[in-house]
Amino acid sequence: MKKQTNLSRLMGYAGRYRYFSYASWILSALSALIALIPFWYIWNIIREVLQKAPNFHQAQGLVYAGWMAVIFAVISVLVYIIGLMCSHLAAFRIATNLRCDIMRHIAALPMGATETFGSGKLRKIVNESSAATENYLAHQLPDKAGAIATPCGLLILLFVFDWRLGLLSLFPVALGFLIMMSMTGKNMQRKMKEYQNALEDMSNEAVEYVRGMPIIKTFGQTIFSFKRFKNAIDRYSVWVIAYTKELRLPMVFYTAAINSVFVFLIVGGIWLTKNNVSPEFLLNLLFYIIITPVIALALTRIMFQSENAMIVDDALSRIDSILEIAPLAESSRSLVPKDSSIVLQDVSFSYDGQKRAIKNISLTINSGETVAFVGPSGSGKTTLASLIARFFDVEQGKILIGGVDIRDIPKETLMNMVSFVFQDSKLIKASIIENVRMGKPSASRAEVLEALTKAQCSDILAKLPNGADTIIGQKGIYLSGGEQQRIAIARVMLKNTPIIILDEATAFADPDNENKVQAAFSELAKDKTVIMIAHRLSTIINADLIYVLKDGQIAEKGNAEELQKIDGIFSTMWKSYQTSVRWKIIKEG
């Protein structure tokens, strides 16, 4: 199957607006050709001046030729503007449709897939990559049509007056073109991709750095504490400097070549007029000196068009990196779970298809039970919980909710059964009422306020100027990590799903907030199946069952009392935790 070109692919997003794009190319080319007509009148002005000199009062056609040059110049500009209006209409429609297509696809992707990209990288692809296509269609393609039309028209003009001077004018152009090709070949395409990768990494790490700003301020750290962000900046700096130095010499030669046309014309003119100088030759020489800078301008525009085409190619490749991720398969069976029990049967999963993060895990969680996943970092706790929420699909085995394989449960039904409270819950820039109502868009104000009360948010509302109607993020109003968690818990309470997954949900809470968050959890967990992931062991001590994970496998299981009696991973973690809570800050002096 023949691969679709970038242009034909973009035109596929245009619909009937593609005709505006076609019109813009024609109008831009026409504008470029019309822009050459004033040079013809300039030639006539120079000819009449030379013919009538020194009796300039006899030059009757100067005013007419001057006005005609101005009129055609204005017509050229107007035609170009109309072409740009057409190209922008098409470009805006294409960029809008492209963004909508990407966002629809992202919405259909498993949450785990979007998390692996990183929010900064996704934002850059959605916004900047689609913006690159918009700029390409709105400006670069029409300019490319004009840049191609200009040399075609110039070739005719160059050989109409004096073919010898025309050839002399083309020598530096040919030399500049060869140098340009050396800079805009496959090596440039590879470099452009490296450049975009460096920008993307820096954007992603910048987002993560900003998110970690509370930790920096709390512990008095500096940017150097975030090595990944600093390393991304350093990599970008090293790359840009090296690339600039690499292109420095070719760019000097290119600039010198395309601007050396005057040297060729003057040297050629001296050689051609070694016997005598005719007024006609002088006229043509002056005309060529005036018109040849247009050649250099047209060549430079073509060079930048090649670079912009590479940018668009890279942008579409990055968009494809999202579009090529397959959404979770939708089953045609559409079964409904009978209860909120969870069963894992020989489940295995890997992120990269090689090293398994989860290995042959089987477990059962009964309806209404509270279980906890604990273990060292990287043991697979969050991955296992993510598989239950179907953020990813298992590679082996199956997961049942209420006796039904989660792959046979419609996405909407599954989302109405499972709620996830992350360690870093996100709130949008909107009122607290609107943030909570996201859990149940049809909820009344009374229902939202009841959920906020149950989530221990009364003290938060009391200190805010407009209570529950206060807009978060506006006029310097922000909430602490623990306060954000309670708002997020209220959202989950309003949603009222039978299965709750709590992933390190008290990680950012101070002691006072932690007590309130724990009270909110107690209210939230009533009559629910709850899965808790925690490093802070005091939060899961009352769980019905604790699964201790290590290297993606269940190493131990039992309640807290049973596990403390075993000389294993949990007892070691418990002893370390008990030691840490007894630590005290001793004031000297």
Domain boundaries, the chain: 6-323, 342-581
Phi, psi of 396 (to 5 degrees): -145, 145
Cα distance between residue 379 and residue 570, in whole Å: 13
Report the pLDDT value the prediction gives residue 260, as an integer from 0 to 100. 78
Q: Note whether 205 and 232 are within 8 A (CB).
A: yes
Report the pLDDT value the prediction gives residue 2, as an integer from 0 to 100. 44
342-581: what fold? Rossmann fold (3.40.50)
Local confidence band at 251 (pLDDT 50, 70, 90 cut-offs) = confident
Q: Note whether 430 and 472 are within 8 A (CB).
A: yes
Locate 102 and state its tokens.
């990407």
Local confidence band at 563 (pLDDT 50, 70, 90 cut-offs) = confident
Which residues, listed in sequence order, are joined to residue 363 by a DSSP beta bridge?
A: 344
Q: Note whether 6-323 and 342-581 share their fold.
A: no
- Among 7-11, 89-93, 223-227, 507-511, the range of highest mean pLDDT: 89-93
Which class would CATH give 6-323? mainly alpha
Asked if pLDDT for residue 571 goes beyond 70, the answer is: yes
Q: Quick one: average pLDDT of 453-461?
A: 86
Pair type for strands 404-405 and 545-550? unpaired
Secondary structure (3-state) at 363: strand
Whether pTM > 0.75 for this model: the answer is no
Report the pLDDT value the prediction gives residue 26, as an integer from 0 to 100. 94
- Cα angle at 182 between 177 and 188, to 5 degrees? 120
Report the pLDDT value the prediction gives residue 233, as an integer from 0 to 100. 79
Q: Among 361-370, 413-422, 466-475, which stretch is predicted with the lowest mean pLDDT? A: 466-475
Q: Among 212-221, 277-286, 316-325, 538-547, which stretch is predicted with the lowest mean pLDDT? A: 212-221
Cα distance between residue 336 and residue 406, in whole Å: 10
Which residues, including other chains, have CB under 8 Å from residue 335's CB and lie 6 or more apart? 404, 405, 408, 409
Q: Quick one: average pLDDT of 215-227?
A: 52
Which residues, including other chains, have CB under 8 Å from residue 422's CB and lie 6 or more apart? 488, 503, 504, 505
Report the pLDDT value the prediction gives residue 584, as an integer from 0 to 100. 47
DSSP 21-69: HHHHHHHHHHHHHHTTHHHHHHHHHHHHHHHHTT-GGG-TTHHHHHHHH
Secondary structure (3-state) at 136: helix
Report the 10 Å Cβ neighbour count for 188: 17
Local confidence band at 117 (pLDDT 50, 70, 90 cut-offs) = low
Report the pLDDT value the prediction gives residue 28, as an integer from 0 to 100. 92
Asked if pLDDT for residue 211 goes beyond 60, the answer is: no
